[in-house]
Chains A and B, each alone.
Chain A
Amino acid sequence: MCNVEDQDLLPPSKAKNASRTCIKCKEVAQIVLRADNCYCRSCFIAYFTHKFRATIGKSKLIRSNEKVLLAFSGGPRSSAMLYLVHEGLSENIHKKLRFLPGVVFIDDGAILQLSENERRNYLEFIRTTVSKTGFPLFCESLGKIFPTNQDTNIQSNLLSSDLSNTTRSDATSSSNFDLDTLIKRFKNDELKIVQVFEKLPNSTAKEDMLHILRKKLIQQIAEANGYTKVMFADCGTRLAVKILSDIAQGRGSSVAHDVTFADERNQAVTLVRPMREFLTKEVANYLTLKSIDYRTRLSLTTMKPVKSSIERLTENFVTDLQASFPSTVNTICRTGDKLSVGDTSKIDADAICPLCDSRIDTNNSLEGKTTSKTTSKICQNTADSCCGEGDGSCNRIARINLTAKEIEDRLCYGCRLIFHSNNWEMDDLPQFLIDAIEKQLRRKRLKEEIEEFLLD
């Protein structure tokens, strides 16, 4: 995650700023955004709030009384977003926001290896912050993406009453929100996911997987509770990092989806990014001026060396470059804006990666990779070769009747990299993924049966 640090804030040297005035109202400036762009406190807040509402308004995407879920992590960006939405809904405001917000928090403490105490404190913070706004709160552990009972229907699991009742904290009923039972339930859900993450080959794959699963779970919760939009608080700096790290991880075809205002890959739930016009620095300024409380987000690579993962390296690269070339983030984001998501209406359901919902981009030419693989014979997928041999792990594969090769073939280029060179088994995959692949394969078989009767 991007670092928001206090050193971005003014005033570093008072003598220099003494003569500076706000470019709007000519009062004494408090904030320097860039070079001579100085703002006073109230003008900056007005500018920031306006930009946020303008980004939402410009898109004309969110209708009035639509249910919108805010993805809230407690970190700086989503705290700012929560505050902005809360403020935008209050009665006496000009250009009031007109949607019905809910808040979702995904606890990934198990993967970050936080202690029970840390997790309780964090949840407590989330609960108090959200209860101030009066929005409904959904808390769920990331482990929920792997259903504990081997029931294949994940939807029913999410719809189960305990989610909507015990974890929902309205302003009135927040007292029955018992953290201890919640954590206990979370722990129960998490046995599987911890195992799966341990098996992933490196931090790069883990981070990538974490993002995908978190997004997936949020979408599932949104869908199960009748929300049609989810707001993510990605700011411009974060998106610039995302663009570069996507490219570095072979996800060129989904870059456009990952940075546009509205990501409509999932038909039921659209992801929106209303904070995309801000820099990390601006968010930090806003938080300080409004004295909004937030928690520093930990990630898998916090306190690790720069080169511990692609995302961490990219973040460092962009931040450093931004320091010497202040237009870096903007240029990268504008490049991302010019990329096309392609014609989404024409995509066949079979041509979608079941893990990340992007279009499959591995069809014809995988030259760079496959060429080198075949010439040097490293294509020895252990799971593939052992399948059907009759030992324990294979029985499980036989039950679902999918081979590792079949699964890999269904994934997009970027998602294949997550599992690459990893001895994974069917059990290590989230159920939604297996379901989706099975469905695709069934459709494929059906299509083969009727092939000869199909025109064109």
Chain B
Amino acid sequence: MPVTCTNDCNRRAKLKRPKTAEKLCLECFYQAFEDEIHRTIVNNKLFQPGESVAVGASGGKDSTVLAYVLKLLNERHNYGINLVLLSVDEGITGYRDDSLETVKRNQQQYQLPLKIVSYEELYGWTMDAIVQKIGMKNNCTFCGVFRRQALDRGAMLVKADKIVTGHNADDVAETVLMNVLRGDIARLRRCTAIMTGTEGALPRCKPFKYTYEKEIVMYAYFKKLDYFSTECVYSPNAYRGYARAYLKDLESIRPSSIVDIIHSGERMSIKKEVKMPEQGTCSKCGYISSQSICKACVMLESLNRGLPKLAIGKTHKAKVVTICSNAFQRIIYRFKIFHELERDEIKFV
């Protein structure tokens, strides 16, 4: 028996909304999906008219739908923003090269400018080269740290005022759980913020913060959007896998769990006496960092010095190496000066 749409539109329902379990027709689903994102944007004042907004585009489902929906809403509700697609080429053969093709097609389809920044030009290392050095384990740490900075640098190159990323509700909820499991209290505090980095650095925002991953897939599927769906060829983060599996199980028990976790994350407050890392800038590259030298610089240094394992383990060890090398150079320098002075004195005498 055909089910009619619960939204009183007399059309036939085609799907069950993962978030609310109501049965909707396609038109009502699109409407609900887009309106929800619009409301999130408006309520949180994500965009100002005249701003240039870089969409972090990987070619995957989230960013493809994000680019599509933002273009649509920008026209429908006159946000007055300029959208730019921004991609990072990590240099992973068999994964990123293919997904970048998708981004390039999207550029044609949506008529948006596209900028690609690559690890190779920024750091002199492709992920393939990094993996050759450090093996299949832990390479995600490098990729993640580098990508964060690469996006910022790319956005500065295209003179964007903001970066939007396709992080969806599932991602945010998963991050809340991960930070609890890892005891990362500083990140736990900021991971549910819809907009980060408002002071100083380029602000980043997540218009999909309340959007379920399943609904994004559904939207892309019914809208027949062109996206790339392959797992990265390098090993996925195993520990994160546990959190993800747990989250999926929670969702199957109670679909609202994902939003509930985000709500919990927003409402947790941290004790005042707990020491928080202070955000400063990296003494080497000037990028924001909670340490004296940012993680990207530490990692790059360790790669260039041929000791990549150092950067993954204890941070202080790697930093000691970096600082030591600097200090050592200074000592040698002083020694030289001293030596010359001494010589001069000898001459003088």
Q: Does B196 contact A (CB under 8 A)?
A: no
The 8 Å CB contact of B265, one of A204, A247, A307, is A247
* Given known A-B contacts A243-B180, A371-B39, A339 and B270 have beta carbons under 8 A apart: yes
3 nearest interchain CB pairs? Answer: A252-B264, A250-B260, A368-B259
- Which residues of B have CB within 8 Å of A423? none
Q: Is B214 an interface residue (CB 8 A)?
A: no
Hey, which chain A residues are within 8 Å of B266, CB to CB? 252, 365
Contact B254 A375 (CB under 8 A): no
Closest Cβ–Cβ distance, residue B3 to chain A (whole Å): 15
Given contacts A367-B210, A378-B6, contact A332 B181 (CB under 8 A): yes
Contact segment of B18-26, B46-54, B122-130, B282-290: B18-26
Q: Which residues of the other chain, B, contact A314 by a CB distance below 8 angstroms? A: 246
B210 and A368 within 8 A (CB): yes
Q: How far is the CA of A204 from the CA of B253 in the complex (A)?
A: 8
Is B332 part of the binding interface, using a Cβ–Cβ cutoff of 8 Å?
no
Q: Chain B residues in contact with chain A, CB under 8 A?
A: 6-8, 17, 19-20, 22, 24, 28, 31-32, 35-36, 39-40, 43, 169, 176-177, 179-183, 185, 188, 209-210, 239, 242, 246, 249-250, 252-254, 256-257, 259-272, 274
Known: A246-B264, A247-B180, A361-B267. A313 touches B17 (CB 8 A): no
Chain A residues near B252 (CB, 8 Å)? 307
Tell me whether chain A's interface is mostly helix, strand or loop, or mixed. Answer: helix
Residue pair B246, A376 in contact (C-beta under 8 Å): no
Is A307 in contact with B253, judged by CB distance below 8 angstroms? yes
Give the distance to chain B from A418, nearest Cβ to Cβ, in Å. 11
Residues in B with CB closer than 8 Å to A339 are 268-271
Nearest neighbor of A339 in chain B, beta-carbon distance:
B268
- Asked if B256 and A335 make an inter-chain contact with CB atoms under 8 angstroms apart, the answer reads no
| Whole-angstrom CA separation of A102 from B83 in the bound complex | 68
Flag whether A96 is at the interface (Cβ < 8 A).
no
The CA-CA distance from A378 to B20 in the complex, in Å, is: 8
CB contacts (< 8 Å) of A256 on chain B: these are: 268-269
Nearest residue (CB) in A for B169 is A368
Residues of A within 8 A of B267 (CB): 252-253, 361, 413
Out of B188, B210, B254, B274, name the residue touching A372 (CB < 8 Å): B210
Q: Give, as a whole number of angstroms, the nearest-CB distance from B96 to chain A.
A: 31
The one of B7, B39, B179, B268 in contact with A252, judged by C-beta atoms closer than 8 angstroms, is B268
Contacts of A11 in B (CB 8 A): none
Give A376 to B265 CA distance when docked, in angstroms: 25
The CA of A372 and the CA of B169, in the complex, are separated in Å by: 13
Which A residues from 283 to 327 make CB contacts under 8 A with B?
A: 306-310, 313-314, 317, 321, 325
Residues of B within 8 A of A225 (CB): none
Cross-interface CB contact of B263 among A202, A250, A375, A377, cutoff 8 Å: A250
A252 to B17, CA, bound (A): 26
* Contact sample, A vs B, 22 pairs, CB 8 Å cutoff: A252-B264, A252-B267, A253-B268, A308-B253, A309-B253, A310-B254, A314-B246, A340-B272, A368-B209, A368-B210, A369-B256, A373-B20, A375-B31, A375-B35, A375-B36, A376-B6, A376-B22, A377-B6, A377-B7, A377-B8, A413-B263, A413-B267
- A251 near B264 with CB under 8 A, answer yes
What is the minimal beta-carbon distance from B207 to any residue of chain A, in angstroms? 12
Nearest chain B residue, comparing its CB with the CB of A337: B271
> What is the minimal beta-carbon distance from A149 to any residue of chain B, in angstroms?
36
**Would you call B253 and A372 a contact (CB within 8 A)?**
no
A247-B265, A368-B263 given; A313·B253 CB < 8 A:
yes
Are A328 and B181 within 8 A (Cβ)?
yes
Chain A proximity of B22: nearest CB distance (Å): 5
CB distance from B218 to the nearest CB of A (A): 14
Known A204-B254, A252-B266; 15 more pairs at CB < 8 Å? A247-B261, A309-B253, A310-B253, A313-B246, A313-B249, A313-B250, A317-B249, A335-B179, A338-B271, A339-B270, A361-B263, A372-B36, A376-B22, A377-B6, A378-B20
Q: For residues 406 through 451 of chain A, which have their beta carbon under 8 Å from a beta carbon of chain B?
A: 413-414, 417, 420
Instruction: Answer whether A332 and B180 are a contact pair too, CB < 8 Å, given A255-B264, A321-B242, A375-B36.
Output: yes
Q: Does A342 sit at the interface, judged by CB under 8 A?
A: yes
Q: Across the interface, which residues of A come within 8 angstroms of B36, CB to CB?
A: 371-372, 375
Q: Residue A24 at the B interface, CB < 8 A?
A: no
With A and B bound together, what is the CA distance between A331 and B181 in angstroms? 6
Contact status B180-A335, CB under 8 Å: yes
Q: How far is the CA of A371 from the CA of B43 in the complex (A)?
A: 10
Could you tell me the distance between the alpha carbons of A253 and B256 in the complex, rounded to whole angstroms? 17
